[in-house]
A and B are shown apart, each in its own frame.
Chain A
């Protein structure tokens, strides 16, 4: 359930965490299907070659630091699965067996009983997968660094197993059964549970690295996770045995990964989904082909040299040809917004007045931006949750696009120090026209479009603005990293510090470069478990509250925690709806849009799921896809 600070572009090369559904053009999703016989045109019509813009860093199940690595690992290891019936409410999820054949959580949402499927075999002579493997993984890898001064294990997902400051306890019930006890109630634990989807390791393999300590790897002292990453059973995914749909063939880092069908795949012999996987995997081979230049990937799919690639909205129409089909799902997880600087080196009315922030919402026509940037393949956002999400409130406040209303709110929000002159310019306390400093990520065209549009709209309410383009790295360094050391008017220690991106209260810690509006940095809204990301970005002491946003009206951290640990799913929904309503009214940032999940496939691909909900994305239905192979 990690949250990654990321540019707003997202990873377009892969289709992870995204699903199917309607969307785009403000209307229904369009699944193009051909009725005429399709002639194979290139290797991408026969083998399945998935284009991607980012390569995996590792094939180690315990060293996942990026989305691309997760995408590769699902080819080898199954973990656990969640499904949703067509037409069911978004929060109504069901467990579907994989390595774990059964999963039961009690009515208090605090005790989970897991049953490991019998007959699962590790590769590399590590024997059968049993409950002992899960327990050893938890105790040694996940909890190995707790109570230690340094972190010799180096597992970065441990936080997902710590609730309210306490670890999840585990006990063995039998060879194939174990139970975990949560320190607090978690009504949506089925979605959150990291153990359900964890890529565990054989107990015997972990034993080889005990006691956990730094050891030399390639001439330097390395953590246990790095040591395991060098294990011969890991390097070429020999651990797979019968556990995953594919086996390793070759990997050229940064170029391509080739896997072939696992003839022994356990799922083919199960009755999961009434035996729907009896022929799985349908594909003889699967290749991930990396493209540094996305336009080459688009050309490759149109020519038939590859089978599919993730798609930017503005490229959808030109890639929708007789040879291709577009997968368009409104169930995207990205929420794009304009960051507003609430710290003392930003424009004061932004932090002082909700009305001024609401004026920005009146000023921006989200649909215009959606048309210009995504060719309609996105939906307006009103809060930090997509409209399709399980916690979306029914009664969100809306801000009609209107320059006049924006102007009125600016006037009433800025007070008597500000006024309009005869040329309709907003004059500040210094007697000069208000001039806002806008920062954009200039590595994408999206940033430029947004920047220019905002500049034009600000002009209409008499506010001048300057646009500065920067790389994502520089934006992090110069505008998001905050510290009291940057503030010449503050001497001493901050009242609190929550790390490099929230070095203290907004009147104490500031960024090294001043800014008012910033576009190009955002977070996944994590629709099914949004508590962590909300806490990190909007709570007073959130580690990524670089905005410096604070409010006396509501304790965001407390509200989020109450929602996550409520005694029922209904209570979680009530508390989160309330919070999302507050964020919509309060406008700590200016909400813009949620992008759709788009990908282009060759017409030769059969089995693309209908985009009906979050859990029916092509990558989660990989076992059902076919080419002309």
Chain B
């Protein structure tokens, strides 16, 4: 009962927090100047027409001439009833625009998260148990490289090397052309096809590199913290193998703080990484959709696009808290 009540309260809080975030977004959009209306007014002025009339038409067609409270109630009511309005920048309903875009984001985002979690934890744990070896130094190098290198620069360099240079490079008589990859994302290929998988390699590599570094550093630190603890020594004394000690004893307790990092890293990727990755690789995903919507002040689409990461982050934190209970039996929300 206690756990259910806790979850119910957290879900209710998620709804309230989402409402607050959407309301703040709405206020910010209202306060910001509207470049589209200004452009329409300028165009009319240049044609000797009444710029005010053109500005008014532009705003009217987007429902922005209505009183603010009417707009606000309309948007909130629409969100509650799953009618998220019409996107003027995309010329389609908001839900359809988001529905079309998320597929493209998911194609690189999900593999990047999995790769960074698996890769980061694996390298981190291995480094921790093999300190001051070549493998440890190599792992640390990967970590610091990933953290230090800016995503946008790394992406551009990879495109230049793998996309351009490999096309006609020959090393020791060996042509690199078969290893070259497309320089930008094409929407022509089916989602589950080799060509699509190949063109996603560079975005996934760029996105996961930074994240791998974070996961690796934290998992190494956590593993080192527990490697010499009493319960690990006890396990070893009882004859547990190195592998069993690592997975069953060290990794399990380390997962509590690491899961916190995982959610934070995933959200960082979603919020920041996707804008950069999608712009550079020309992927028509949620990041570019949101950026276009903000640039064009497409209020319904901005709100819709804001809603998703806000909701994901709140629910993600909830699942993370619930995961603690499974990972560490000492944690209990029953009395909260």
Contact = CB atoms under 8 A, between A and B. Distances in A.
Interface in A185-229: 214, 217-223, 226
Contact of B292 (A254, A323, A499): A254
Interface in B1-52: 33, 35, 38-51
Given A290-B282, A292-B288, A160 B47 contact: yes
B43 A65 contact: yes
Contacts of B102: none
A255 B282 CA distance: 8
B182 interface: yes
A296 B184 contact: yes
A218 B86 contact: yes
A304 B183 CA distance: 9
A156 B164 contact: no
B183 A296 contact: yes
Contact of B47 (A5, A159, A223): A159
Nearest to B156: A295
A404 to B, nearest CB: 42
A476 B35 CA distance: 10
Contacts of A292: 278-280, 282, 288
Interface string A1-18: 011110000000000000
B49 A150 contact: no
A357 interface: no
B260 interface: no
Nearest to A473: B35
A427 interface: no
Nearest to A44: B183
B261 to A, nearest CB: 30
Interface string B100-123: 000000000000000000000000
B272 to A, nearest CB: 16
A545 to B, nearest CB: 12
B60 A220 contact: yes
B292 A303 contact: no
A544 B46 CA distance: 8
Given A219-B86, A302-B164, A5 B42 contact: yes
A150 B292 CA distance: 30
B46 A159 contact: yes
Interface in A108-157: 145, 150-151, 154, 156-157
A414 interface: no
A158 B40 CA distance: 14
A476 B187 CA distance: 37
B288 A254 contact: yes
Contact of B49 (A159, A226, A532): A159
A412 interface: no
Interface string A488-527: 0000000000011000000000000000000000000000
Contact of B61 (A5, A42, A220, A303): A220
A156 B54 contact: yes
A159 B169 CA distance: 56
B47 A253 contact: no
Contacts of A591: none
Contacts of A320: none
B130 interface: no
Contacts of B50: 151
Given A41-B168, A220-B62, A252-B284, A293 B279 contact: yes
Contacts of B282: 255, 289-293, 296
Interface residues of B, number: 50
A32 to B, nearest CB: 18
A162 interface: yes
A536 interface: yes
B91 interface: yes
Nearest to B279: A292
Q: Name A's interface SS.
A: loop
Contacts of A150: 53, 56-57
Interface in B267-318: 278-282, 284, 288, 292
Given A156-B49, A291-B282, A300-B183, A226 B43 contact: no
Given A293-B279, A303-B183, A156 B43 contact: yes
Contacts of B168: 41, 323
Contact of A221 (B60, B183, B278, B279): B60
A580 to B, nearest CB: 21
A245 B90 CA distance: 26
Given A5-B42, A41-B168, A305 B182 contact: yes
A499 B177 CA distance: 58
B47 A156 contact: yes
Nearest to A293: B280
B92 to A, nearest CB: 8
B196 interface: no
B266 interface: no
- Most interface-central of A5, A157, A217, A218 (chain B CB within 10 A): A218
Interface string A252-279: 1111100000000000000000000000
A4 B46 contact: yes
Contacts of B35: 473
A12 B279 CA distance: 17
A65 B40 contact: yes
B63 A220 contact: yes
A477 interface: yes
A219 B63 contact: yes
B170 interface: no
A397 B160 CA distance: 47
Interface string A347-388: 000000000000000000000000000000000000000000
Contacts of B85: 219
B252 interface: no
B212 interface: no
A146 to B, nearest CB: 10
Contacts of A222: 60-61
Contacts of A401: none
B49 A158 contact: yes
Contact of B187 (A4, A156, A256): A256
A154 B57 contact: yes
Contacts of A300: 163, 183-184
25 contacts: A3-B46, A41-B168, A58-B91, A150-B56, A159-B49, A217-B61, A220-B61, A220-B63, A221-B60, A223-B61, A253-B89, A253-B90, A292-B278, A292-B288, A293-B280, A295-B156, A295-B159, A296-B159, A296-B183, A296-B281, A299-B156, A302-B164, A473-B35, A543-B45, A544-B45
- Kindly list the 4 A-B residue pairs having the minimum CB-CB distance in the complex, ordered from nearest: A159-B47, A159-B48, A218-B86, A292-B279
Given A214-B60, A226-B61, A293-B279, 9 more contacts: A151-B53, A154-B57, A156-B40, A219-B63, A220-B62, A255-B282, A299-B156, A303-B183, A305-B184
Interface of B: 33, 35, 38-51, 53-54, 56-57, 60-63, 85-86, 88-91, 156, 159-160, 163-164, 167-168, 180, 182-184, 187, 278-282, 284, 288, 292
